[in-house]
Structure 1
Amino acid sequence: MSDSTHTWLIGVDGGGTGCRAAIGTGAHGVLTKSEGGPANATSDFSLAIKNIRAAIAAAANSGDIDTAWLEHAEVYLGLAGVMSTQDSARIAAALPYHRVTVSDDRGTTVTGALDGADGYVLAIGTGTIAACSRGGAFDYVGGWGFQVADQGSGAWLGRAALEHVLLCHDGLAQSGGLCADVFAKFDHDPRAISSFASAARPGDFAKFAPDVIAAGKGGDPAARTILQEGADHLEACLTRLGFRAGDRLCLKGGVGPHYADYLPPVFLTNRVEPRGSALDGAFRLAGISAAHRAEKTR
């Protein structure tokens, strides 16, 4: 497939809990996919590169594609933790491909979710993406990483749950179902929570997000307070981005759709389902990059 009309395309979506790779061509679409481990460039650069390469290799293997054919593939990576052009260049240099574009995961997420249409996206998983698309141009709020941002994210929810447990243990908050469920996972030892938190990465904290969501659905006051605080932040993000009643809104990610129960109804009057994933967005952008590159050589 050396013909320019059949250039190999590789799209990669990477975040704090895993990465996904898709390989195909513009003519045939995605031919094979695979999943791998965490690929947040800020949390652990070496691990991210290792997992990205492994996911691409696994996708190639499952599709019976010789990896040597991919040397000149058009590669587009949307990765959590990419903060600068220096980050992008460093990641690209660590991969065995000649045509690599690296961005953070916001553009790939919006591209996949809206498939080119105008609208707003709240993509909430381990991290938080609040974005809008107008006429093909994107605008974002936040995305500065778990240490200083990512309010409302799975990692943020998990950390808030652990904080609540310790407050309950110290007699500073009312214990309930959320506290009981999470504290039991640490054998009711507050020191175990402190030890865990000192070395935990965003994906580790995010493992407790389902406990918060489940407790909220069960009416636990502490869980509902945490989720409402996250929703209030997301509402502020949408307002800052210019959201108006009736605008298209997509809630996606492992956590995003659960905020529908906490956002004001005016934000949900034109709620739409995602048209695609961030991986779809990365593959689509790889195709766009290939087309632009071909146009320049004409």
Structure 2
Amino acid sequence: MTQFAIGIDGGGTSCRAAVADEKGNMLGIGKAGAANIMSDPQGALANIVASARDAFSNAGLDPEALRSSAVVLGAAGANIGAYGARIQEALPFAKSRVVTDSLIALQGALGRSDGVVGAFGTGSVYGARRNGEVKEIGGWGFVVGDQSSGARLGRDLLELALLAHDGVCSATDITRIVMDEFAGDPQKVVEFAHISKPRDFARYAPMIFDQARLGDAVAVQIVQRAARDIDQSLDALLWPECKTVCLLGGLAGAYRAWLRPDHQALLAEPKADALQGAVSFAIDLAGNGERLHA
């Protein structure tokens, strides 16, 4: 048995960690910066370790004890190429496993039950469990995936702001706000887009939902398209007997009213969050009863 169990939820905007004892008692919580293992693996590694150290400090424990502990990290991009394996190899813990963010979200939200989970923060990902079998979709990253994520919402807003600037579509309050931020210079928008990370785009998401509630046509267009993407992904995972859909992440609440009525009817409160799901797996790993299939 390793000394402690550490669960880490590596998000695109921030990284959260929790340390627990062998009985599953939560001892401390920690937080650090973004943990995007694809776009910034070195920065992600530093923040993953920093969040664990912060959790140990919060628990009144020596942070060096992490080296004799077991960790399960859930991260976007863990299912792509060698990104997950490289981070796992570099982690300074006694036992380390890197899994997808959808897997820890599924475990946290559903416990041992069947159902479907969608997680929406800087990125987005989905998972489903049916009769013990797990299926994951999405989570392919900001450039070609992560529909309905904060990063994609922000990217769509910048695109439409430029189209409005060019006279291709009508300007609205939200496109004017964006262009004012860049002093009305479209070249500055393009420069921002080329040097920015997903979390930089995602910071526009709250404003988009706020303006959509006020009826701004561009904001409504962005949110409606994102909600349709969620509906389509849920359709790909649901089965006739499924009674539970859980939405997780910072944007989950904002999307509820925009989904189709049949999906709204299935929405249930998650039992716990993704961090608790990671802790659950880490406790099993620490006790040599490894179970990383939700």
Question: Per the shorter chain, which TM-score range?
Answer: over 0.9
1:105-116 mapped onto 2 (5 Å cutoff): 105-116=101-112
Paired letter, 1:190: P
Asked if 1:145 corresponds to 2:150, the answer is no
Q: Shift of residue 116 of structure 1?
A: 2.2
Alignment CA distance shift 1:237-1:28 (3 Å) = closer
For structure 1, list consecutive stretches of 5 or more residues without a partner in the other structure. none
Paired letter, 2:40: D
> Secondary structure at 1:272's aligned position in 2?
coil
Q: Give the aligned partner of residue 229 of structure 1.
A: 225
Alignment CA distance shift 1:93-1:140 (3 Å) = closer
Q: Shift of residue 171 of structure 1?
A: 0.6
1:127-206 mapped onto 2 (5 Å cutoff): 127-206=123-202
Structure 1 stretch displaced more, 226-235 or 87-96: 87-96
Paired letter, 1:96: P
**How much is the aligned-residue C-alpha RMSD, in angstroms?**
1.9
Q: Shift of residue 194 of structure 1?
A: 0.7
Alignment CA distance shift 1:198-1:287 (3 Å) = same
- Contact kept in structure 1, 2:114 and 2:242, CA below 8 Å: no
Query: Could you tell me which of 54, 64, 69 is aligned with 1:58?
Result: 54
Q: Shift of residue 288 of structure 1?
A: 2.1
1:275-286 mapped onto 2 (5 Å cutoff): 275-286=271-282
- Contact kept in structure 1, 2:56 and 2:62, CA below 8 Å: yes
- Contact kept in structure 2, 1:245 and 1:267, CA below 8 Å: no
Q: Shift of residue 245 of structure 1?
A: 7.9
Alignment CA distance shift 1:28-1:110 (3 Å) = closer
Paired letter, 1:40: N
Asked if 1:92 corresponds to 2:85, the answer is no
Asked if 1:38 corresponds to 2:38, the answer is no
Q: Supply the distance in 1 between the matched residues of 2:286 and 2:170 (Cα, whole angstroms).
A: 57
- Contact kept in structure 1, 2:8 and 2:15, CA below 8 Å: yes
Q: Shift of residue 56 of structure 1?
A: 1.0
> Secondary structure at 1:194's aligned position in 2?
helix
Paired letter, 1:269: A
Q: Supply the distance in 2 between the matched residues of 1:280 and 1:260 (Cα, whole angstroms).
A: 23
Identity, % of aligned positions? 36
Q: Shift of residue 234 of structure 1?
A: 1.2
Paired letter, 2:212: G
Structure 1 stretch displaced more, 74-83 or 153-162: 74-83
Q: Supply the distance in 2 between the matched residues of 1:186 and 1:136 (Cα, whole angstroms).
A: 50
> Secondary structure at 1:273's aligned position in 2?
coil
> Secondary structure at 2:82's aligned position in 1?
helix
Paired letter, 1:276: A
- Contact kept in structure 2, 1:108 and 1:282, CA below 8 Å: yes
Q: Give the aligned partner of residue 283 of structure 2.
A: 287
Q: Give the aligned partner of residue 74 of structure 2.
A: 78
> Secondary structure at 1:108's aligned position in 2?
helix
- Contact kept in structure 2, 1:245 and 1:266, CA below 8 Å: no
Q: Shift of residue 268 of structure 1?
A: 1.4
